[in-house]
Structure 1
Amino acid sequence: MNHIIRHSYAASRDGQTVEELLRSQGYSKSLINRVKLTDDGLMIRGEKVYTTRRMQAGDRLDVALPEEASSEHIVPTPMPLSILYEDEDLMVINKAANVPIHPSQGNFSNSLGNGLAWYFEQKQQSFVFRAINRLDRDTTGLLIVAKNALSSCILSNMIKNRQIHRTYLAAVSGDLSGQPEGTIDVSIARLPGSTIERIPDPVHGESAVTHYQLLSYQPETGTSLLMIRLETGRTHQIRVHMKYIGHPLYGDFLYNPDYRFLQRQSLHSWQLSFTHPVSKIPMEFTAPVPDDMQQFLPDIWIQK
């Protein structure tokens, strides 16, 4: 069955076309074209309409998103999933460590995509994998997955327009008490000759801006716990920026292979806030701090 999203509008002006209305709601041109080819894709008062139809005040436009086949190359694999929120448009997942997001060479069946394919197979629902924000394999915490083409369009644009606010917790080496907050504005580029490693590159790199705030310092371990907010979302941005200022993350196999305290990079996607792509309701989520990072928390924090 097609996923139906219904909207009722009092036209802001006489003569607004269906296409203008859809574009104002975040539909891409390609999605509008797909909806046009769907049986009963665009309906007003039970009548099929075209995108050129000029609407009148009080008209109700019903949209049927085209039904999609499941992603062919993602093998369903049972695995535990921590789903913090789910509705017909999106999911918010608390990703575990050592779980890549997408299947790839060497990770053909152990990615989050495989686990979600199995989850939807059990519900006898089609599944197209649309992860909105990226997390490295060893980064834990919050991830948004769009469940249909419309929410994917809108959420992807929100990422580009910096309307999805992401806050991380990071444990880094060294004492930042002397500079408890700051902004790192240094472009990042791929290391020449490497397929994965990134480096600061003010000349050839892409713009990258990271804000940090010190939450606590442990003198016995020489560790600073930071709250980090991203303006941009470059690959390895936090890892590269923290190494750049001389305070790398622990357990980072690329940039600081110091495994004294944990066996993966000490980074957790802690909080997310955004406006729901369809209902427009403000949403906020917090992912519990994983066990291996609780050692860096100040004593006054009470873990639930």
Structure 2
Amino acid sequence: MARSWTRRGEWIETALPAAKIEKETASNPSTVEPAEAQAHEYAVRGEAANPELASAREASIASAKPLPTPQAPAVSAKAAPTPEALAAAALGVPDKLARRLLHAGEVQVRGGRARLRLRPDEALGFEPVWTEDGLEALYEDDFCLVVHKPAGMPVHPDGGAKRLTLANVVAAHYTLNGEACAVHHVHRLDEYTSGPVLYAKGEFARLALDAQMRDKAIGRVYLALAEGKVPRDLRVVDAPIGRDRHHNSRRRVSPGGQEALTRVELVQKLRSGQASLVRLTLETGRTHQIRVHMAHAGYPLIGDTLYGGSDSLLQRQALHGESLRFEHPFTGEKIEVADPLPTDLQSLLDRLT
């Protein structure tokens, strides 16, 4: 059963996992021993190494004269972990964050429950902008937000002309709901690609989800409408991707590029083979990866003029994020979020079927 929690302002309260606490305690026993036992152990070791000392002790016992006991060296005792430290470890708090929370007294244990200050107020980082359509939240809790990104809206500002971005709309959503946390996207989508985008709320979630992204543990599945008859035996495109030195915005398959692998599944042939609906799964996350790989295989996406596609049927690349899978940063639960085809792609699919 997934771990539950209660949000109390900046604090998260949850039941402690007893099995993990016991495991942490067993692996971190206190090394402090009674002084008498340590002195006796030192004396025994000294006599074993020095027979004359043992003989002298026996003579002293026979004559009832006390013999001074050798002084034991200073013992450095390693203190046992506190209940708060054990709780932080059992709940999976990263070491650096755990040290800061423990130092500030922001981990509290009462019986079998723990309270952690995992959601201190943060600056949004982006100007909130409210739009007529608002934000379509596909999944949300105290740690994560998954939203639908429409085609034509960049995920974040690019340093050029001031434009509306998804970051501005998410900032407005947080403000409207009283969420004082930084707007932090875990991954991105191209400006004219639609689909789900994952945001992390607070440092704890940021650390956990960014680590999943680095470890390629976040699953991303896409649907695309490609030109031509994609063969069923086209299952994988494994070709490195690098910059195109002749075009700043383009990428290309290049022997000196970064490793890139895309899995391909033919879903449906359209218009007697003039187009194909394909499902694509990313094993890596290179810029324009799906677009580059499909064009390289000879099946550019409909509407993708940058990579050889025609825009006679659609004015943007026919690419959409179908689903997103990740592990919840706090509970460890497997989360899968689906995002249905937007109107423009569904309409084009209906026309081509």
Query: What interval of TM-score do these two structures reach, taking the shorter chain for normalisation?
Result: 0.7 to 0.9
Distance in 2 of aligned mates of 1:141 and 1:154? 22
The Cα of 1:213 is off from its aligned counterpart by: 0.5
Match of 1:32 among 86, 98, 104: 98
Task: State the distance in 2 between where 1:185 and 1:234 align.
Answer: 12
**Is residue 2:170 matched to residue 1:105?**
no
Deviations 1:152-176 (CA, angstroms, capped at 9, x unpaired)? 2111222222222211001111111
1:75 partner SS: coil
Counterpart in the other structure of 2:10: 2
Please tell me the residue identity of whatever aligns with 2:177. Answer: K
Equivalent residue number for residue 121 of structure 1? 175
Deviations 1:237-283 (A, max 9, x none): 10111111111112224223521111111100001222222122222
User: Scaled by the length of structure 1, what TM-score is found?
Assistant: 0.83
Pick from 99, 106, 123 the counterpart of residue 41 of structure 1.
106
The structure-2 alpha-carbon separation of the partners of 1:109 and 1:77, relative to structure 1 and needing over 3 Å to count, comes to farther
In the aligned structure 2, how far is the partner of 1:117 from the partner of 1:200?
37
Runs of 5+ in structure 1 lacking a partner? 46-57
Q: SS of the residue aligned with 2:225? A: strand
Matched, 1:77 2:129: yes
| Match status 1:185 vs 2:193 | no
1:283 aligns to 2:335 (yes or no): yes
Matches of 1:107 and 1:68, distance apart in 2: 30
Distance 2:214 2:305 in 1: 29
Matched, 1:199 2:252: yes
- Out of 248, 271, 274, the position equivalent to 2:323 is 271
CA drift of 1:128 comes to: 0.7
Structure 1 residue 65 corresponds to structure 2 residue 118: yes
CA 1:284–1:124 in structure 2 vs 1: closer, same or farther (change >3 Å)? Answer: closer
Distance 1:250 1:67, change over 3 A: same
2-side partners of 1:237 and 1:173: how far apart? Answer: 17
Could you tell me which residue of structure 1 aligns to residue 194 of structure 2?
Answer: 140
Residue 164 (str. 1) matches residue 229 (str. 2): no
**Contact 2:239/2:261 (CA < 8 Å) preserved in 1?**
yes
1:124-147 CA deviation, whole Å, 9 max, x = no partner?
331311111211111111111111
Moved more, 192-201 or 179-188: 192-201
8 Å contact from structure 1 (residues 76, 109) kept in 2: no
Give the secondary-structure state (helix, strand or coil) at the position aligned to 1:241: helix
Q: 1:274 to 1:125 in 2, by over 3 A?
A: closer
User: Aligned pair in 2 of structure 1 residues 296, 227: CA closer, same or farther (>3 Å)?
Assistant: farther
Alpha-carbon distance in 2 for matches of 1:173, 1:5: 52
- Choose between structure 1 and 2: higher strand proportion: 1
Matched, 1:249 2:314: no
Match of 1:55 in 2: none
Change in Cα spacing, 1:236 to 1:197, as seen in structure 2 (3 Å) is same
Q: Distance in 2 between matches of 1:209 and 1:250?
A: 21
Deviation at 1:122, TM superposition (A): 2.1
Superposition RMSD on alpha carbons, in Å? 2.6
- Aligned equivalents of 2:103 and 2:317: distance in 1? 47
Residue identity matched to 2:208: I
- The answer to whether the 8 Å contact 1:169/1:267 transfers is yes
Aligned pairs for 1:81-96 (under 5 A) are 81-96=135-150
Whether contact under 8 Å (1:216, 1:297) holds in the other structure is no
How far the C-alpha of 1:27 sits from its partner, in A, is: 3.7
Is the CA contact (8 Å cut-off) linking 1:69 and 1:126 kept in structure 2?
yes
Kept in 2: contact 1:26–1:153 (CA 8 A): no
Gaps of at least 5 residues in structure 2 are 1-8, 29-80
CA contact (8 A) 1:35 1:66 kept: no
Identity of aligned residues (%): 30
Shift, 1:227, TM fit = 0.5
Moved more, 20-29 or 96-105: 20-29
- TM-score, normalised by the number of residues in structure 2: 0.72
